[in-house]
Amino acid sequence: MTQQDIQQTIADFKQAAVNALEAGFDGVELHGANGYLLQQFFSKNANQRTDDYGGSVENRARILFDILDELKSVIDLNRVGVRLNPSLHGIMGILVDDETIALYEYIVDRLNGYGLAYLHLIEPFTDVSQNPQAIPQVAKHFRAIYNGTIIINRGFTKETAMQVLHDGDADLVSFGVPFLANPDLVDRFRTNAPLNQPDQATFYTPGEAGYTDYPTLKQQLHLTENNQ
């Protein structure tokens, strides 16, 4: 990307926020995780730049804060969240390195000054417990740094979600895959009902299969009653 490309991308993020508000959304989340563009800037193995957006920890994080500074003019930052995946390793071309922990600590500490709606963190996708360059317990690590609301994600069950909340390491737990298979996930958690199992063969595919055809608990009970 040229410098002009970067400035255009920052403007695109700003326009995307405007579009989201006009479409009726309550806020926006900046996706700085999972190997997407912002994380490519953060990662030393992906970012080979020698200008103001490469090299040092501060430079590699610069694009995120440039975007946030632009968003201020079109949306209150208390309607903006930021998503980070600090321990992504060996997936989507991203590797942890000797500066990864310092980089994310810098980012998270600096985010304290932005008054965000929340910081959305992701626990490791893979086992990094033996990797000294990675953070094995992301929520616990950054709870000591971030003063605002933390949402944590990645493979939680109702029980493990309740535990991380009880421990105070996060304020909220987000669920993705379980919601795909259980449109009434909250009610199922509330009543300790069994969960539908997701069909991964339908992930990222067109059509309604795997998206709108999972039954709710009420629908399942209705079918059971009709079959009796």
5 phi/psi in degrees, rounded to 5: -60, -45
Q: Cα(80)–Cα(70) distance, rounded to whole angstroms?
A: 12
Summarize the confidence of residues 133-154 as an average pLDDT: 97
DSSP state of 82: E
Which is more confident, 227 or 87?
Answer: 87
Domains and CATH numbers, the chain: 3-174 (3.20.20.70)
CB 147 within 8 A of CB 169: no
* pLDDT for residue 226 is more than 80: no
Residue 82 CA from chain centroid, whole number:
7
Strand partners, 29: 81
pLDDT of residue 222: 65
pLDDT of residue 221: 73
Residue spans of alpha helices (H) in the chain: 3-22, 37-42, 57-71, 100-111, 138-143, 158-166, 177-181, 185-191, 217-227
Q: Which of 221, 166, 175 is nearest to 194 (CA)?
A: 221
pLDDT 10s digits, 160-210: 999 999 999 999 999 999 999 999 999 999 999 999 999 999 999 998 899
- Kindly give, in sequence order, each residue whose CB lies less than 8 Å from that of residue 164, ignoring residues fewer than 6 positions away: 139, 152, 156, 170, 173
pLDDT of residue 211: 85
pLDDT 10s digits, 71-118: 999 999 999 999 999 999 999 999 999 999 999 999 999 999 999 999
pLDDT of residue 58: 98
Residues catalogued as catalytic: 36
Whose tokens are 């109702």? That residue is: 158
Where on the phi/psi map is residue 165: left (φ > 0), alpha (ψ -120 to 50), or beta?
A: alpha
pTM greater than 0.85 (yes/no): yes
H/E stretch holding 29: strand 28-32
